[in-house]
């Protein structure tokens, strides 16, 4: 073991510094730097093959980067073998030991630490109660359902009280209903244990509902890192805007700037855009990529100071809680989603002309 | 779904009769009172009782079992470790070695037999201890057993997710503990099945044994061959029946073992 | 993004040359080193007791036989010339005939096994899951019992006093007291009986994977059962047919016990020729040349087998 680092009780649970990893010609990680704070639920979100699982395996010690640095709890960890790292993993395939019973599976990590039999029984039992798998204790993995296996895999990892729990698509193999149920449970569990969770998923819903912060990854890079709100409300790149939620994207041309207020020419006409301070340097370029979420567009009314454009309703899809509209604005179409609050007196029909309002603060500017 | 047809069922039944006719006939004749030839004279268990006083047969039995046990012990050891290494490690020329390993499986018995005969003859010129006998037979048997064990154990390991071993490491088990608590227990059914098959192979082998045996190391198959060649067969039927039954039981055990462990994973 | 600051920079960024093996970082070379220790003993063993002896055989096949049967290490092609009919008195057909006969027996056995094995494979594939493994075990049991004993059993079955001879005599097909061996029919019957399991197992494996939709589509398009089988089924099970064919052909060609016990002296195959040269004739160099030919046949068969199974030459062990 390395000597205790003075910063070992630092606020950061995991620090990744410019990690790169190649598999032959494929660049799985192209220089990833990110920090995970102690006690947070951190998600790595991205399509398959974006490098998120590779990153997780490097943190677990099951793979090594070609270059870069890694600290876990402030301690340099790349040289530590997997079994000496204070992390545990919930594998996507669960990887339960087929020849051991559920309780033996859960006790495995504690046995490897040579804890006393009494201590092992105590902790195994309390974890099985926590994850509600007490009745399954004597069964073997092949006698469990998918959801039960998932709970056992989770219990087997958290019983070791790791500094960081790594979850590799833990809910990926389950059906939708069970997934929703376990999402909530996982979230509560994390808050109760105050353990750092690093969670890998390709499911944006899962990442958004459970996480404190999300790193959106694409092609071996972190595209954006932030809270779910930040990522949704202020996507930084085209990839993030399109990967998370629905988005109207259109090109624009820079005209003028006054403080954080930007004017741009676009297929929708001249638009006023309010920018947060971080994006302003981008705005000086000639060509701009603009976006707005469908539910941030109002069809009737809006506020003073909104950009207003005239259009015609081309299609309406009624979806119970909400209605989706496709609006033709001449050169471009816009998707608009509106909650059916029942507050509008007159219904809208296909062919109606509407005045679309886009608030300057709701339009965002994207890189590439 | 494949439709079952009476025609294929009938053929399958006939094939079954065809495959088992030789085994059944040997067992039936082992109860025949006739001393020579294939005519049926009457029922007796005399031939089995007489085996107890048949010294050459007893010596051959002891040789056969000793040979099978020794060679299986070493081949299980070498073959299982090989299977573990080949399924969990990458190394240069692995494909080439993979092919080399299959040579003893496919080579005609007789070619392997004369090659070893020649090899031992050459060795004898420089080294003592390679006189044809139990030692040379054991060396030969280990050689053709290793690949069978390696193949069976590797097949078993291919069914086991390597992620299990990663999970063990993740849970704090170093390489030795991972092997002891995870890998080895999962290999055991393969090792047992491979060992039983290797044991049967040794028990049944005639050609290689015939060419590498020396005075005093006659095994049952060699004894049977020389008796058949000389036309002295009545007590041979009893010995042969016993061998057939032992082999059949072994195969049934292996099949049962596989069926049982398959469910468990 | 505002991160908690005050973290020291990572020391130096260097290339990492280790590999991870089940969570264990290994320095360069350690991986191969361990593999060598694990696989080395068995591979060295097989090399030492299989490859080296075979090299000796190849070398010996170019040597000469002394007058007293001793080996004279002088290079010659003579053994191979003899093998292909070069006799002291012009063309001598004995040796080429042995080779041709062996190949013929091999092909005939493979063909017969295929004919008989196909319906059996289809039947097993049509069984319910539980019975499949029972049927496969039944097929496999004879294979794992002593070949010598089974061959000897055919002597009993085919002997003049045996039941088969009785039946044929009663049917008037053969005169009473005729033995059904030695001879071609006896050899072939025993060969097929011994190697049928080798054919049924790979055949069954590919029948099991058969896509019947294709066959049904062909039937829908009006193909006759025969054409349907030929065009929609055979292409799908061809790998199994070839794999089974090779697995039967190879050992059948090199068989020694069956022709020895059931074929008599006139029906010697390669195996018997090798045995004779190493045994009574004491012409080891010539015997080695025959063995080398048998080896070449094996290599050709294996090459074919590897191609069919796309290099995944896992022997489908019973």
| Domains in chain A, CATH or no CATH each | 12-237 (3.40.50.300), 246-366 (2.40.50.140)
C260 domain-assigned: yes
pLDDT above 80 (res B182): yes
Domain CATH for C187: 1.10.3720.10
Q: What is the pLDDT of residues B70-122, one digit of tens each?
A: 999 999 999 999 999 988 888 888 888 888 888 888 888 899 999 999 999 88
Of B2, B97, B152, nearest to C43 by CB-CB distance is B97
B221 domain-assigned: yes
Cα angle C298, C302, C305; round to 5: 140
Domain that holds residue C215: 101-308
ipTM for this model: 0.86
C91 domain-assigned: no
| CB burial string B51-78: b at 16+ within 10 A, e below | eeebeebebbbebbeebbebbbebbbbb
C119 domain-assigned: yes
pLDDT above 50 (res C2): no
Q: What is the pLDDT of residues A192-238, one digit of tens each?
A: 888 899 999 998 888 888 899 999 999 888 999 999 998 998 888 88
Confidence band, pLDDT 50/70/90 cuts, at residue A348: confident
Which pLDDT belongs to residue B265?
37
C1 domain-assigned: no
Of C53, C145, C287, nearest to B204 by CB-CB distance is C145
Average pLDDT, chain C: 81
C22 domain-assigned: no
C8/A65 touch (CB, cutoff 8 Å), yes or no: no
Chain B hits for A140, Cβ within 8 Å: 264
DSSP lists the bridge partners of residue A222 as A217
pLDDT above 90 (res A269): no
Instruction: Check CB contact of B159 with chain A, cutoff 8 Å.
Output: no
Chain B hits for A89, Cβ within 8 Å: 167, 170
C26 domain-assigned: no
pLDDT above 90 (res A23): no
Instruction: Provide the domain count of chain B.
Output: 1
Average pLDDT, chain B: 86
Domain that holds residue B169: 54-264
C160 domain-assigned: yes
> Taking a contact as any Cβ pair under 8 Å apart, which residues of chain A between 33 and 52 contact chain C?
35, 37
Instruction: Provide the domain count of chain C.
Output: 1
C32/B92 touch (CB, cutoff 8 Å), yes or no: yes
C39 domain-assigned: no
CA distance B107 to chain C (A): 7
pLDDT above 80 (res C149): yes
Q: What is the pLDDT of residues A286-328, one digit of tens each?
A: 788 888 888 888 887 777 777 888 888 888 888 888 888 888 8
The CA distance from A104 to A137, in Å, is 8
B82 domain-assigned: yes
B114 domain-assigned: yes
Q: What is the pLDDT of residues C55-104, one digit of tens each?
A: 999 999 898 887 777 777 888 888 888 888 777 767 777 788 888 888 99
CA distance C6 to chain B (A): 31
Task: Kindly state the percentage of chain A with pLDDT values over 70.
Answer: 93
Domain CATH for B83: 1.10.3720.10
**For the ranges A63-67, A80-84, B144-148, C221-225, which has the lowest average pLDDT?**
C221-225
Q: What is the pLDDT of residues A113-172, one digit of tens each?
A: 999 999 999 999 999 988 888 899 899 998 898 889 999 999 999 999 899 999 998 887
């Amino acid at each position: 073991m390395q000597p205790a680092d003075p910063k070992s009780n630092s606020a950061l649970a995991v620090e990744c510094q410019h990690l790169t990893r190649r598999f032959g010609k494929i660049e799985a990680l192209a220089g990833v730097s990110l920090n995970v704070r102690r006690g947070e639920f951190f998600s790595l979100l991205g399509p398959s093959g974006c490098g998120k699982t590779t990153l997780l395996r490097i943190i677990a010690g099951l793979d090594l980067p070609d270059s870069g640095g890694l600290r876990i709890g402030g301690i340099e960890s790349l040289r530590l073998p997997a079994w000496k790292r204070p992390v545990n993993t919930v594998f996507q395939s669960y990887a339960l030991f087929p020849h051991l019973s559920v309780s033996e599976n859960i006790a495995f990590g504690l046995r490897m630490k040579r804890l006393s039999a009494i201590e092992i029984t105590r902790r195994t039992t309390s974890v099985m109660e926590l994850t509600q798998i007490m009745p399954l204790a004597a069964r073997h993995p092949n006698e469990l359902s998918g959801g039960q296996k998932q709970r056992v895999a989770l219990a087997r990892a958290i019983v070791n009280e790791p500094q960081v729990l790594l979850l590799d698509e833990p809910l990926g193999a389950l059906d939708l209903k069970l997934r929703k149920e376990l999402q909530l449970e996982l979230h509560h569990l994390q808050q109760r244990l105050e353990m750092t969770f690093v969670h890998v998923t390709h499911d944006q819903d899962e990442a958004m509902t459970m996480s404190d912060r999300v790193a959106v990854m694409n092609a071996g890079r972190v595209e954006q890192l932030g809270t779910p709100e930040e990522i949704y409300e202020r996507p930084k790149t085209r990839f993030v805007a399109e990967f998370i939620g629905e988005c109207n994207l259109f090109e624009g041309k820079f005209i003028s700037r006054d403080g954080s207020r930007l004017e741009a020419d676009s297929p929708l006409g001249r638009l006023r855009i309010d920018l947060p301070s971080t994006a302003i340097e981008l705005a000086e370029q000639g060509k701009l990529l603009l976006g707005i979420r469908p539910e941030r567009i109002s069809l009737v009314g809006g506020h003073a100071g909104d950009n207003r454009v005239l259009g015609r309703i081309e299609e309406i899809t009624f979806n119970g809680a909400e209605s989706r509209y496709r609006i033709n604005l001449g050169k471009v179409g816009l998707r608009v989603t509106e909650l059916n609050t029942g507050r509008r007196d007159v219904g809208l029909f296909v062919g109606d002309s509407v005045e679309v309002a886009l608030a300057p603060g709701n339009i965002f500017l994207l890189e590439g | 779904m494949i439709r079952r047809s009476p025609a294929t069922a009938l053929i399958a039944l006939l094939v079954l009769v065809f495959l088992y006719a030789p085994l059944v006939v040997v067992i039936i004749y082992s109860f025949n009172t006739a001393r020579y030839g294939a005519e049926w004279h009457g029922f007796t268990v005399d031939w089995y009782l007489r085996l107890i006083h048949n010294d050459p047969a007893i010596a051959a039995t002891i040789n056969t079992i000793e040979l099978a046990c020794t060679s299986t012990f070493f081949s299980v050891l070498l073959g299982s470790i090989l299977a573990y290494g080949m399924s969990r490690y990458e190394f240069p020329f692995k494909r080439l070695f993979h092919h080399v390993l299959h040579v003893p499986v496919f080579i005609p018995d007789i070619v392997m037999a004369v090659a070893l005969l020649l090899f031992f003859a050459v060795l004898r010129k420089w080294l003592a201890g390679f006189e044809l006998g139990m030692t040379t037979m054991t060396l030969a048997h280990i050689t053709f057993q290793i690949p069978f064990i390696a193949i069976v154990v590797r097949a078993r390991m291919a069914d086991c997710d390597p992620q299990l071993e990663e999970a063990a490491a993740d849970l704090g088990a170093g390489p030795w503990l991972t092997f002891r608590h995870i890998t080895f227990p999962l290999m055991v059914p393969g090792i047992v099945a491979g060992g039983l098959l290797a044991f049967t192979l040794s028990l049944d082998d005639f050609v290689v044994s015939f060419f590498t045996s020396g005075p005093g190391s006659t095994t049952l198959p060699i004894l049977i061959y020389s008796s058949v060649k000389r036309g002295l067969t009545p007590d041979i039927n009893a010995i042969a029946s016993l061998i057939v039954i032992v082999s059949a039981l072994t195969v049934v055990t292996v099949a049962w073992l596989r069926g049982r462990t398959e469910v468990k994973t | 993004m505002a991160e908690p600051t005050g973290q020291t920079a990572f020391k130096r960024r260097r290339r990492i040359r280790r590999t991870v093996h089940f969570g264990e970082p290994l320095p360069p070379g350690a991986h191969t080193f361990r593999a060598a220790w694990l696989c080395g003993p068995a591979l060295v063993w097989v090399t030492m007791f299989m490859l080296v002896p075979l090299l000796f055989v190849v070398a010996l096949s170019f040597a000469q036989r002394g007058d007293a049967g001793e080996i004279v290490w002088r290079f010659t092609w003579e053994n191979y010339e003899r093998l292909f009919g070069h006799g002291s008195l012009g063309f001598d057909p004995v040796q080429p005939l042995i080779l041709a006969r062996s190949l013929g027996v091999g092909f005939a056995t493979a063909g017969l096994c295929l004919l008989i094995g196909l319906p059996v494979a289809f039947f097993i594939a049509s069984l319910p899951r539980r019975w499949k493994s029972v049927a496969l075990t039944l097929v496999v049991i004879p294979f794992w019992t002593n070949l010598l004993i089974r061959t000897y059993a055919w002597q009993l079955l085919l002997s003049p006093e045996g039941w088969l001879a009785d039946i044929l005599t009663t049917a008037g097909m053969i005169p009473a007291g005729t033995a059904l061996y030695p001879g071609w029919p006896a050899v072939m019957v025993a060969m097929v009986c011994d190697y049928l399991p080798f054919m049924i197992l790979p055949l069954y494996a590919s029948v099991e994977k058969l896509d019947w939709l294709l066959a049904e589509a062909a039937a829908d398009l009006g193909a006759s059962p025969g054409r349907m089988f030929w065009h929609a089924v055979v292409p799908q099970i061809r790998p199994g047919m070839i794999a089974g064919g090779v697995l039967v052909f190879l050992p059948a060609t090199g068989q020694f016990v069956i022709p020895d016990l059931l074929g008599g002296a006139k029906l010697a195959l390669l195996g018997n020729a090798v045995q004779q040269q190493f045994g009574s004739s004491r012409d080891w160099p010539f015997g080695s040349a025959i063995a080398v030919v048998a080896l070449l046949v094996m290599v050709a068969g294996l090459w074919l087998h590897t191609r069919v199974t796309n290099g995944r030459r896992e022997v489908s062990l019973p």
